[in-house]
Amino acid sequence: MSSEFKNFQEEEINLREEIQKYLKYWPWFLVSVFVAIVLAFIYLNLSKRVYLTNATIIIKDEDTKSPATSGLSSFTDLGILEGLKTSSIENEIGLLKSKRMMTKTISSLDLNIKYLNYDFFVTRESYSKEPFKLDILKLNEQQLANSAAEAKNEFRISWEENNIILINNEDGKKIEAKFGEPINIGFAEIVIRKDENYKPIANNEILEYGFRIMPIESVVAYYQKGLIAQLVDDNSTLIQLGLEGAVPAKSQDVLDQLIIEYNKEAIIDKNLVASNTAEFINERLKIINFELDSVETDKEVFKEDRQLTNIQAESELFLENASEYKKKRQELTTQLGLASAMLNYLQDGNNSDLLPANLGLEGDGVNQQVADYNKLVLERNRILESSTLKNPVIVSLDQQIDQMRSVVEKSLRRLKANLDISMKELNNEAKVIQSRISSVPSIERQSRGIDRQQQIKEALYLFLLQKREENSLSLAVTAPKAKIVDNAYTNANPVAPKSKVIIFGGLLIGFLIPIGIIYGKNILNNKVKHRDDLERKAKQIPIVGEIPRIDKKQSHLITEADRSVLAESFRIAITNMQYLLINKSDKQKGIKMLVTSTVKGEGKTFTSINLALTLANMSKKVIVVGADLRNPQLQRYDVGSKKQLGVSDYLINEDLKLNDLIEQTKYNKNLDFLTSGSIPPNPSELLRHRRLGEMLSTLEESYDYIILDTAPCMLVADTFLISQYADLTLYVVRAAYTEKALLQFPIDSKKAGKLHDVSFVLNDVDLANFGYGNKYGYSYGADKKSFWEKFKEHF
């Protein structure tokens, strides 16, 4: 057989032995697993189930391809707008998760009021199912925060018809009131109304209701912490919102309302530019309307004074060549007017004011710069709502706005300068035309000047009216920024507690607890428990028998025809001893067995008596000699004996006859006792007396077996003095009593020759550890025990 196969076989045997250590405690595992699973089910029934609610929205990225975005590229290249390089979609996610948005949501839904119902010992939250509603008229946030910290803000409510009784859960204070009337509860003034739409779950429904008012700050912090907002895909603007909560309907309302509040704010931001543009247009319309009225009045007075009708028909021939001039002059004048107005508006405003957009100025560069400027102002104003002027982002934006303001102003001045140059060129052309119409009467020239002013004012007036309508239309049809893909919905399966995980965890814990206890017990145990411990620690000394643990109700002595486990164990021990006495086969009778142990209390006398009874039941003549002269125990079994003399007296007094000291026992006619007698002051010297050998030689002639019940050999040297006369030494080790470290003493004693022909007898073995781990049963020939009796034996 190869060494590898031997190693494998040894490992397999060791593994089997380790498993067997735990299998014999199988009732522990059953009870532990059962209790753990029961506790897991109790936990599942008592714990609040938490559900995950989801909603999905798409953020409309309207500015992605707009000229406003592309126009910023030139400034970004120069490093002017470096602070704007942020992900807009992540900004929107940050806004959705912001405290301000959650505060608006909580305030809209009144979620700082929690409705409760009390069912036996369990308090549950009720949402939209309670028979009353609560409105807060006044609220002192400071007092509420103090009362919340002291758990004084929860009230039970009961009513009869229109009368209400509120009971504070903390101090039991009662407040009587009526439905619909203001109620002062200390930190707030509330009104409680009946819910006319309430329908009981059952006709016999008996539920006790209550409510708790919490600070909005704490509620906002709770929901803000639990809110999940993340991109479905990195390349999309699809955002999935998630919220965990014990009340699915409540979580759904929170997500839906959060989307509504987000869209409201987005619409407000979008309309802010349009509102400022409308204000600018209205102011300009008032001015131009006044100027147009003035021109028309002048024209009316001019014609009345000169009695004019149709001057154009008279001067049409002269002014045909001036039509193109008039058209260009009109356009340039309009552009100059708009440019001047924009410059005035820009100089009078500040960093928080938006510039009018889309007024019709020629030159895409100026319009693009105005759009870029407005975008920066909107970003600054939105961040400033939840920040201060010292915020680095605000400071950076102010610098960028100042730079952009300067750029816009320079562009406007450059545009105006270009328009002035164009106007000068037109004026030069006008001189040529003027020479051609010099023959036109001054009246016609004056009339045409008035008409020209009237047309300019009318064109500008109509242009502003058109822009106002366009601006009003864009203000009215502003679409929400977040398009709802999926309204808030709740998964049917709770996310916590996870039933399968809890039950499996309970099963695992129930299984591991006994393993841990048994393993810890084995690790910490320094006592001999079963024969394996002896075989490992003292391989040099054979084990002749194992004696099982005996209950107090059972007899400790073996009787004739005894079929108990105790009797069988001693029969097995005697059979094993025969193999050890094979070298002494020439000795037909008078076999001397010395019974000893390491320390007291290991069962030497118990073993000696039952060993003798077993031999006596086999029709062997047996005597038990009390050889422990210091602490004799044999007298306990010799109840009723009147003799006080024994071994010590025989060794001292040579006049005593041995037969006079021997007494037949009541247990068996073949069993005699020779007690230790009087306790001498010098046991060791006495045991060295020659009469000890003579006594044992005399006993050999009359008895088949002589069993010497001696003293513990580790404590005194008495046993070593007697050992020289013994044919066999039975060394008693008591399970769960003898320390493993003490097993070295018999090994050393055997090596030193102090003891010879040594064999172990393992006493008081637990039935679960009896034999080879009780694998093959220990009750052969006895009544078979029921499952419940076997179960109880492990406890």
* Mean pLDDT value across residues 642-669: 88
Cα distance between residue 261 and residue 255, in whole Å:
10
Sign of CA dihedral 616, 620, 626, 627: negative
Output the pLDDT for position 758: 95
Output the pLDDT for position 84: 36
Place of tokens 């109700």: 553
Output the pLDDT for position 610: 95
Output the pLDDT for position 723: 93
pLDDT, greater one: 638 or 141: 141
Judged against a pLDDT cut of 60, whether residue 36 lies above it is answered with: yes
Output the pLDDT for position 612: 94
- What is the number of other CB atoms lying within 10 angstroms of the CB of residue 313? 8
CA distances from 552 to 182, 712, 771 (A): 77, 25, 21
Sign of CA dihedral 376, 379, 382, 384: negative
Share the mean pLDDT of the chain: 80
pLDDT, greater one: 17 or 138: 138
With a CB cutoff of 8 Å and minimum separation 6, the contacts of 743 are 528, 534, 537, 538, 733
Least confidently predicted of 14-28, 65-79, 442-456, 756-770: 65-79
- Give tens-digit pLDDT for 433-491: 666 566 556 666 667 777 777 788 778 878 888 887 777 776 665 667 777 888 888 88
Whole-prediction pTM: 0.50
- Give tens-digit pLDDT for 392-414: 878 888 788 878 888 877 887 88
pLDDT, greater one: 244 or 440: 244
Q: Is 552 exposed, middle or buried (0-12, 13-18, 19+ CB in 10 A)?
A: exposed
CA distances from 374 to 65, 202, 251, 472 (A): 17, 61, 37, 18
Output the pLDDT for position 621: 95
Cα distance between residue 15 and residue 439, in whole Å:
130
Cα distance between residue 85 and residue 541, in whole Å:
86
Least confidently predicted of 75-79, 415-419, 468-472: 75-79
Cα distance between residue 432 and residue 324, in whole Å:
13
Cα distance between residue 536 and residue 529, in whole Å:
12
Cα distance between residue 528 and residue 695, in whole Å:
36
Cα distance between residue 271 and residue 297, in whole Å:
38
| 389-398, 406-415, 559-568, 699-708: range with highest mean pLDDT | 699-708
Sign of CA dihedral 393, 398, 404, 408: positive
- Confidence label for 786 from pLDDT (cuts 50, 70 and 90): low
Judged against a pLDDT cut of 50, whether residue 273 lies above it is answered with: yes
* Mean pLDDT value across residues 87-102: 84
Dihedrals phi, psi of 389, to nearest 5 degrees = -70, -15
- Give tens-digit pLDDT for 200-234: 554 445 568 888 888 888 889 989 888 988 888 87
- Confidence label for 85 from pLDDT (cuts 50, 70 and 90): very low
SS3 of 666, please?
coil
Output the pLDDT for position 547: 93
Output the pLDDT for position 73: 40
Judged against a pLDDT cut of 90, whether residue 705 lies above it is answered with: yes
SS3 of 703, please?
coil
Place of tokens 């038990």: 624
Helical pair 88-96 and 248-306, crossing angle rounded to 10 deg? 120
- Give tens-digit pLDDT for 345-393: 777 777 667 777 776 677 667 778 788 878 888 888 888 777 777 788 7
- Confidence label for 322 from pLDDT (cuts 50, 70 and 90): low
With a CB cutoff of 8 Å and minimum separation 6, the contacts of 283 are none
Output the pLDDT for position 72: 37
pLDDT, greater one: 435 or 545: 545
With a CB cutoff of 8 Å and minimum separation 6, the contacts of 767 are 548, 549, 565, 774, 778, 793
Output the pLDDT for position 306: 61
* Mean pLDDT value across residues 101-109: 89
Length of the chain: 795
Cα distance between residue 199 and residue 188, in whole Å:
29
The full set of domain ranges for the chain reads: 24-47+497-524, 113-214, 310-478, 525-793
- Is the CATH number of domain 525-793 3.40.50.261? no
- Confidence label for 292 from pLDDT (cuts 50, 70 and 90): confident
pLDDT, greater one: 612 or 88: 612
Cα distance between residue 712 and residue 600, in whole Å:
6
Closest to 164 measured CA to CA, from 184, 174, 179: 179
Judged against a pLDDT cut of 60, whether residue 498 lies above it is answered with: yes
